[in-house]
Structure 1
Amino acid sequence: MSTVATAWRSAARTEAGKVRARNEDAVLDRPQQGLWVVADGMGGHQNGALASRLVIDSLAELPDAGDLAQRLAQLRQCLHALNRRLGQTPTVTAAHPDPVIGSTVVALLASGTRAVCVWAGDSRCYLWRAGRLYQLSRDHSLVQELIDAQQLTAEQAAGHPAAHALTRAVGAGEQLVLDILEFEVLPGDSFLLCSDGLYQELAPPALGAALGLPCAALAVQRLFEQALQGPARDNLSAVVIRR
């Protein structure tokens, strides 16, 4: 058994929520490989589901040999190739009229005591460490840009009509720009990868309380129990990873 397989425990869940008939999210949970992913599709029901599934299936085929830098390079190459493929909408989804097919992606890749988070879009990665919650990823959205430019407060952004407009996603443009954050993992760290449908339902204290539970499966169960108590208008996805 590899060190990754013995060091990491994780659990994942995705579902449509209470309103949408189709789930356009997809997740990957591979603790043996040290790889976890959440993808949130865009471009209409058929296209969104196809895009997120392509992201997950392609990343699932990556080899787990090599050091973290080599595996990161392979993951990036895979996502850039997918971006080109999804950009060729007529060849991918000729039967569907939607003009855009794409997906957010947030991935956590781990090897030994090092990990790297890679993302494009507004699916998020959180870290729970020593009783505190940290958002490691930064949304690639119009609203986040307005917040960064101090044109909106976080409270105003929540109700902004363009709250869901993305500035980056796999398949959304000719050039894919990925954000990458590498860091050291400490004993007891927990991570949450999730789509916007989940974190929009739950405030940070609720996320932290779930991540503080004894195991990943319980954390995922708590997150979904609480999210489904609300309107759950969007698809819900979460992967919880613990070291």
Structure 2
Amino acid sequence: MSALAERLRSAARTDTGKVRARNEDAFLDLPERRLWVVADGMGGHERGALASRLIVDRLAGLPDERDLQVRVQGLRRCLHEINRRLHQQLTVTAERPDPVIGSTVVALLLEGARGACVWAGDSRCYLWRRGRLYQLSRDHSLEQQLLDRGELSPQQAARHPAAQALTRAIGVAEPLSLDILEFDIFPGDVFLLCSDGLYRELSVGALGAALSLPSPQLAIRRLFDEVLGGAARDNLSAVVVRP
């Protein structure tokens, strides 16, 4: 095991929140495999929960390779296979009302002094580095699309009635398009993977304050205390990773 892998510390948690009847989020916290995942299912009637659980279960079974590029390609292939499976199920059940079954996904892989983030949807990956918060992932949502096109201001885009509609997710359409970002890791870096039920309830300052705490466990506790102390209108999940 590399020196980085020996130093890795992480913590994870999920909660139904105060409004939803069921939790359709799922996470993977595998520091010994240098792999972390958050998936936010959609579909209702436990279908979203099945989709998110399928993603984390399948990714947990990936071979424990030591080459970052090999690992990224294996994760991509696995997500494409899951997408085909869920999309075929959607096609078979298309005569049913609201036949959605799918999930967002954001995955973090670390290997040596390099890392990679892979995602589809609006679950996010953040980096806390030297007192600044960076959003590594970019939402696949109508809100982000409107912003990218310059059609609306951030305030207008956030108020759009379909702002949170996803433009990409696992299981929704073929072919699947994933985004991948690779980066160097520096001492003191802290990573946060989370579903939208967490980051939509917190300011950038609140996220940074939590990630500046000395352990992932303290960071997770602060994040969940903040959200659950408020409206907590959605399921919320988070993984904090601190090399």
TM-score (norm. length: structure 2): 0.96
Cα deviation digits, residues 215-237 of structure 1 (max 9, x gap): 00000000000011111110000
Alignment root-mean-square deviation, CA: 1.7
Change (3 A) 1:234 1:146: same
Distance (whole Å) between structure 1 residues aligned to residue 186 and residue 180 of structure 2 = 19
* Distance of aligned partners of 1:125 and 1:166 in 2 relative to their CA distance in 1, 3 Å threshold: same
Aligned residues: 243
Say which is worse superposed, 58-67 or 110-119, in terms of deviation. 58-67
Partner of 1:114: 114
Quote the Cα distance in structure 2 between the aligned partners of 1:224 and 1:121: 22
Amino acid at match of 1:112: G
Match of 1:218 in 2: 218
Q: CA deviation at 1:2?
A: 4.8
- Report percent identity of matched pairs: 69
Q: Which amino acid letter does the alignment assign opposite residue 144 of structure 1? A: Q
Per the alignment, residue 173 of structure 1 pairs with 173
Q: Is the 8 A contact 1:4 1:31 kept in 2?
A: no
Q: After TM superposition, list the pairs within 5 Å mapping 1:56-75 onto structure 2.
A: 56-75=56-75
Match for residue 152 of structure 1? Answer: 152
Instruction: Indicate yes or no: 2:239 matched with 1:239.
Output: yes
CA contact (8 A) 1:44 1:98 kept: no
Q: 1:98 to 1:221 in 2, by over 3 A?
A: same
Equivalent residue letter for 2:66: G
Structure 1 alignment gaps of length 5 or more? none
Counterpart-to-counterpart distance in 1, 2:230 and 2:126 = 21
Q: Deviations over 1:54-101 (max 9, x none)?
A: 01000000111230011111000000000000001269879x754121
Equivalents in 2 of 1:157, 1:240: separation in Å?
A: 29
Q: Which AA in structure 1 matches 2:46?
A: Q
What does residue 89 of structure 2 align with? 89
Question: For residue 197 of structure 1, what is the aligned residue in structure 2?
Answer: 197
Which consecutive residues of structure 2, in runs of 5 or more, have no partner in the other structure? Answer: none
CA contact (8 A) 1:116 1:180 kept: yes
Letter aligned with residue 26 of structure 2: A
Q: What is the distance in 2 between the residues matched to 1:92 and 1:112?
A: 43
Q: Which amino acid aligns with 1:117?
A: C
| Mapped contact 1:25–1:235 kept (Cα < 8 A) | yes
- How far has the Cα of 1:157 moved from its partner? 2.1
CA distance in 2, matches of 1:187, 1:145: 34
- Describe the shift of the 1:92–1:52 C-alpha distance in structure 2 as closer, same or farther (beyond 3 A): farther
